[in-house]
Structure 1
């Protein structure tokens, strides 16, 4: 009996831990005479396993073994450990040129349609999207993370891929007073120099008072991160002709860069709880996350015309793509390179204030009501100042793991001499965004006294949300300081640093420890970082050089003007959205069957009413017919130019059924079947209501007869967004098998199939406006539409176990592994629009952003869904014994499509029939390449030692093996290397004290 009581108490504590999300799991072996207290990593796994096993839905969890002790340096890195979850390694989807050490976007089962929550409530960042930037959130504030793979009716809509719920602790999670403080110091091997501190502290207590029990919790976190990324890049390959007339594919150059990244993350979380009695309780929570990021980059990039490049001593692969050779450009006096100093800053914050009330009027009814207000904002300045230089030659060897750029002493001396550089250009971009949401919901539950029916739940949820994003106009304000084409192609007349009037404010960047000292690249003269950070005053000073040169050559030059907010409606995206949702869900179970079955079935109805505040603009460049001339040919519809503000209403409703079934084959083996309808609303940046249409005409005039012939009329346009987009929807099914053979041991398998409709793609649609006679005229507008369907289906396998039966110290060993395979397909509703690529003045080029076009004008076949790896896995070797806890974890994902037609891999082919006047006679092919992330794996490690019951010492290492991240660009000659990134290992020492 005594042993039974101890075991019962231990199991009860484990269940409480699972319910609260706190990892204080307890176990007691049957053959032991006393309770075994399980702590550390093993306790966290036990709690997470209990959550998964006892959940009504398909869920995977990671639980901190104590508050503030998630096992990675960011929430994004935590999420990648979960089966079916992958993370992006670039800073943003639209800019794959910049690597993110801590990761960025999250995909679940290959889909980026992910809903984010904080304690079961909405949470988002102000970035034009709908979800939270998980890298912005301090992991020190989290008690656990839950990933729901298949939604139920009571869960808030929006999770086609999955739902990520971040959980924080509450005062009543602890028996009484509890506190913890921790400090960390992180060192980046590649960056060297100053280390980055982090610290966090939490205190919680509860008291008996005359008005009931009261609890309070305060949690604060502060962390810095300083990292560096070194990179090589190869420009896209262009088709050229060698001396024998054979087609060869040659990049116009290769380049190198280094980026210094500094991040500061601050978080504050507070919670109050009150419990009057078993019938009435309430809570109030406040959450604040603030993220400040700054990075400075020195990057050199090739900018010559690709058709001016010559190759000597070239070797090529079987498809004619360059392997080795020396590039020159005699037409331009050398290969023209730009040398960027770029500085980017972003400040973001999210504030959440939420109140909850729970009332149980009797043993059957439970009513909860919840009120939340959230505000998110962000602001950014991206500033670039560049010099230019003519590189005499560049010798390339593209056969190795990274490009080998070979420079002789003369080449290095040329690049190191400031006299060979001139001031080239400036470019700035600013954006700011703010979003608000007020959400209210009330849920009711009635518990049945019935052998089958468990309870019925129903509720209502109302939201009112707005999102305002503003970009400067022009969005990226590229402004020349001195360019050859400005000065009649007089290369010697540029603003060279050798001229005392233009000298100074530069530095020789030596690229020390490049690629951890494994690669040597030449030093380059760059503008000082202070010039990029000194916008706008530094820009105004630099553009005075521009004015001096224009005066010398008697050329009329534009005066520089800084990009500003609010001068063009195309830079403003103003949205409001209201939703109304109702749901009902019944929980049931047959406990007396040989194999008990339980589950829930329900339906959720949601109505969405959105308004986009925007503009419609029409411009006509149709030529004026000379006075007295007669016209023949095509008739030009007469439409008066206009720009008018308009509100676009978009209302829709969705019915989302769900079914979750579980069959218990034994106490340790169970199976699940789930079916659900899900939706994911378009991101707000896709809903921008700005449409610009233009009418052009081709004419021929016969001066002898005074007859003007109108040959053709083109009516085209582009949409910054589409305010009438519908949500992407899914019908999805899951089948799982779950075997829990030990408190922290399990093997689970899942098969899933998500059938997607109304996937958003960029394509052409018709937009009609009336002419002066009231006849509607159709314009072919390019923009986002619900233009495709598809699927994501696959399998998930997960296993974890501690090998307790091994002798002695080996009994602390454990293994955790998971594997995901996802197959995807996307079918266009109107595939005819993607049949070909043509010149820049043709209507066909509007479709480039979907499948892309090569530099020779050919298109690519159907591409998979973006950010989807067909295979991914995690493998972790664990150890928990006595005071020691350790983990060696490897994460890997296969190749995935990042984006199409993005920065650095799109443009025109540079063909020019009149080089003396580059704006005349162009027959350019517009091109944009698919960019892929190559397969990537990273090894991380951690080790903790518990000094006593209150103090522990830890050591963590990220990217232990110095993994290299590679990007690929898809071309007709195959997948070619686009970029190679190295960030080096990071090491963190941690001291923690609990009381």
Structure 2
């Protein structure tokens, strides 16, 4: 019932907007074409975004910061959550990856050039870019042949500012503080933009430099109730589903984001422009975590303590005897560093446009993971998963006495990803004078991209299983758990226990010293089977034709095009073939040709109403880690993973339609439908291999059969200009998306929705802007969604769902003068929680909560 109410609320709000054109038209709306009226602030941004959507020859949605430094939200992913058809996955309480109309295979471009973050995937980490650097974001939901291939979900283009966009001297700077309540810390944020242009004897010259710095303290509390396990030894004559334990990390850390952009434009003549641009992004996440890992598989239940949820065989509460457990101290640090260098020439005359562009990008992504555990045995453990915070309490052992422990496992993992890309593009467009054709556009693009990966793997436990090393002689390595206030100090879990100090584990020299102190002689070393190198070269050519004609009284225009790409792939690494126990080095070369047609057509049904139709074929190439023939083993879990260089690219046939009604400069409603038929979805299967006498369960990707996605989007925006006085400053944005999907799985005969895709989602934003005051209250809601499949000894392919949740943000800005604005913002104001379950809600999964954040600051613009 609650979900139904959320959906009806979203649809009703969109419906209310649908009635606004008539009432708005009956009032005297302001004349935005008058030279006496200057539109600024939120209105200007919404008006610009609406004009981009209305005038594009593709189906596109945009976010525009018309005023410098006013792009909403802190990073790109968070800004994109307001766009219909986009669903955002969150990472430690901030926007992370996105999916467009159900598909996460999204291509990111920066000023039309492909960008990436080094890693096992192909995409760009949207968290890397501070939003202050951007003038706007365009989301292309339908392609045309001139857009770079690679995103079956869509293309997200990040647009930075150019010095000649606004002539003369421009200066903008901001400073904010951000408070995170669980971390209980304030961190700084700042940005600056300086731009100037000059008319000289050699033409017009513009120079722009912008930079942004963000820090964020964060904390996350997690209780991961162990996956269900079918057991017959708990309640006589009955098979019950008992959680296999509890994993309870408390996480705290700091994230830093730096962005720098510089650009020079030179126009020696009005027709000719020469430009150069440099971009840099750095993203650093320093994270520590402490907690308990309490597995209960194979442990004996205390007789008579087990209860089940009514009408089920699912354990509600239970107690165990003699439960082994681990405490852990973990350092998990990641670093992204990206550079982009580009330059080119534009030449524009009446009827002709020429462009030549060269760009080079480099990226590094590094992970350092260090862990040291303490091991112990508790005489009793009591678990109850029915409470708001699922409980798991150890008793009968002094968790603050070092003598209660032996030394547990020691782990060191390091991932080194390095990538670079050269790209050269040239295109030409020529106007055509005819009753049908309006212009012809041709182009070529050559790109070469490389990716190298080197892993370091270390996992050892001092002593033997029969004779573990007592921890009492190593008390200097451990301390009391500093994060002992999980879920507001809940008494449902143990909060006070001893843990390793992650700061001592971070430097490799310290880690090695501790390793030797514990008597572990095996050194930290590179895992040779996991090394790989991939080089990919593409040559693409495209041709598009823009057309326009009158169909009776209805003007029609659009584009039709073809993009042809030859992809060459070289994969070097190590491969485990059937029947082998030792990986074999390989060097594989392959190439394939892709032909991608596209067509967009628009019918001008009236001055305000237009209908768009689109059909296209698109592709996404497999990720680098999916293609890599590497073998990575985890001895502690008898598991491993391998890539597959024989994977084929994902391809999709797409159909789209959009009906759009524009009734005011900032007022519109739309209804869109879409269909995607995707071939070669990549799924993960499992095989068993015996390596060095140990049987491993090794996962590897394979291409599956078709996946189908269909859905609708409905939404709109308006200001209530027809209301009197101060009330005319109110406005609203709302959209609702329905997506239905189905794809095969690694389990024969089983189909599921796409992972991380909600069937229903909506956004509602209340806006106020009048005089010096502007404010926004934004609520984002999404239905439950599939996160994966789980198999145990009773069921195969049990779906794992995250429950529906909403996310509330708010902001208020006050223009103290024409040049100074103060702001107050809040994020995650409802403290949304991650709440998952296995198939049904009585099989409890993961509970997670993140910070509420409050930001305050000032912005100065000249």
TM-score by length of 1: 0.78
Distance in 2, matches of 1:514 and 1:643, equals 44
- Corresponding residue for 1:524? 497
**What is the deviation of 1:811?**
1.3
2:143 aligned counterpart, secondary structure: coil
Who is 1:788 aligned against? 705
Matches within 5 A, 1:374-523: 374-405=361-392, 414-472=398-456, 474=457, 477-481=458-462, 485-487=465-467, 494-497=468-471, 499=472, 501-509=473-481, 511-517=483-489, 521-522=493-494, 523=496
Question: Which residue matches 1:670?
Answer: 610
CA distance in 2, matches of 1:663, 1:55: 13
State the SS of the aligned residue for 2:53.
Answer: helix
Moved more, 505-514 or 162-171: 505-514
Aligned to 1:538: 511
Cα distance in structure 1, aligned partners of 2:508 and 2:632: 31
- Equivalent of 1:959 in 815, 822, 828: 828
Superposed CA deviations along residues 205-229 of structure 1, whole A, max 9, x for unmatched, are: 1111111101000001111110111
- Which structure 2 residues correspond to residues 783-862 of structure 1 after superposition, within 5 A? 783-827=700-744, 834=748, 861-862=750-751
Aligned equivalents of 1:781 and 1:346: distance in 2? 26
| Alpha-carbon distance between aligned partners in 2 of 1:135 and 1:952, rounded to the nearest angstrom | 26
Partner secondary structure for residue 360 of structure 2: strand
Instruction: Answer whether contact 2:273 2:347 (CA < 8 A) is retained.
Output: yes
Unaligned runs of 5+ in 2: 1-27, 634-638, 690-696
RMSD: 2.8
Equivalence for 2:565: 606
Q: For residues 641 and 408 of structure 2, what CA distance do their matches in structure 1 show?
A: 32
The change in CA–CA distance for 1:519 and 1:883 in structure 2 (over 3 A counts) is farther
Q: Residue 416 of structure 1 aligns to a residue in which SS?
A: coil
Task: Indicate if the aligned counterparts of 1:536 and 1:562 stay in contact, CA closer than 8 A.
Answer: no
CA positional deviation for 1:239: 1.9
**Cα distance in 1 between the residues matched to 2:275 and 2:850:** 44
Distance 1:681 1:319, change over 3 A: farther
The residue that corresponds to 2:17 in the other structure is: none
Given candidates 738, 742, 758, the residue that maps to 2:660 is: 738
Does structure 2 retain, via aligned residues, the 8 Å contact 1:648–1:689? no
Paired residue for 1:129? 121
The answer to whether the Cα contact below 8 Å between 1:540 and 1:560 also exists between their aligned partners in 2 is no
SS at match of 1:531: helix
Q: In 2 relative to 1, CA 959–644 (structure 1 residues): closer, same or farther, beyond 3 Å? A: closer
User: Counterparts of 1:296 and 1:114 in 2: how far apart (Å)?
Assistant: 31
Structure 1 residues 632-653: Cα deviation after superposition (integer angstroms, max 9, x where no partner): xxxxxxxxx8765332112111
Identify which of structures 1 and 2 has the higher relative contact order when contacts are C-alpha pairs closer than 8 Å and 6+ apart.
2
Cα offsets for 1:274-306 (capped at 9, x unmatched): 112232111111100011111000021113433
Residue 877 of structure 1 corresponds to 766
Q: Find the aligned partners of 2:818 and 2:339 in 1 and give their Cα distance.
A: 35
Q: TM-score, normalised by structure 2?
A: 0.90
Deviation at 1:231, TM superposition (A): 1.5
CA distance in 2, matches of 1:782, 1:336: 28
Counterpart position of 1:949: 818
User: For the structure 1 residues 308 and 220, does the alpha-carbon distance in structure 2 shift closer, same or farther, using more than 3 Å as the test?
Assistant: same
Instruction: Say whether the 8 Å CA contact 1:176–1:206 is kept in structure 2.
Output: yes
Q: Distance in 2 between matches of 1:219 and 1:292?
A: 20
1:899 pairs, out of 779, 788, 810, with 788
* Alignment correspondent of 1:937: 806
For 1:340 and 1:928, the matched residues in 2 are separated by 31
Aligned counterparts of 1:692 and 1:979: Cα–Cα separation in 2: 26
Q: CA deviation at 1:974?
A: 6.5
Q: Aligned to 1:103, what secondary structure does the other structure show?
A: strand
Check whether the contact 2:391–2:493 (CA below 8 A) recurs between aligned residues: no
Q: Which residue of 2 aligns with 1:4?
A: none
How many residues are treated as equivalent by the alignment?
821
Superposition map of 1:333-344 within 5 A: 334-344=322-332
Q: Is the contact made by 1:496 and 1:503 (CA closer than 8 Å) also made in structure 2?
A: no
1:426, 1:539 within 8 Å by CA — same for their partners in 2? no
Could you tell me whether the CA contact under 8 Å between 1:67 and 1:141 is conserved in 2? no
Partner of 1:316: 308
Give the deviation of 1:174 after TM superposition: 0.3
Paired residue for 1:573? 532
Counterpart in the other structure of 1:562: 523
Displacement of 1:33 in angstroms is: 8.2
Which of 283, 294, 298 is matched with 1:291 structurally?
283
Matched, 1:240 2:231: yes
SS in 1 for 2:704: strand
CA distance in 2, matches of 1:358, 1:133: 29
5+ unaligned residues in a row in structure 1: which ranges?
A: 1-26, 91-99, 488-493, 548-558, 622-640, 694-716, 768-779, 836-860, 910-924
- Equivalent residues in 2 for 1:256-267 (5 A)? 256-267=248-259
Rounded Cα–Cα distance in structure 2 between residues aligned with 1:786 and 1:73:
37
Q: Distance in 1 between matches of 2:568 and 2:849?
A: 46
- The 1:281/1:524 distance shift into structure 2, 3 A limit, reads same
User: How many Å separate the matches in 2 of 1:76 and 1:46?
Assistant: 22
Note the alpha carbon deviations across 1:568-595, whole angstroms, 9 max, x for none: 2x21121001101111101011157411
> Are the aligned partners of 2:687 and 2:699 in contact in 1 as well (CA < 8 Å)?
yes
How far 1:561 sits from its partner (Å)?
Answer: 2.1
Q: Is the 8 A contact 2:530 2:632 kept in 1?
A: no
Name the residue aligned to 2:677. 755
User: Cα gap change, 1:248/1:323 in structure 2, threshold over 3 Å: closer, same or farther?
Assistant: closer
Relative to structure 1, the CA distance from residue 691 to residue 33 in structure 2 (aligned partners, 3 Å threshold; closer, same or farther) is closer
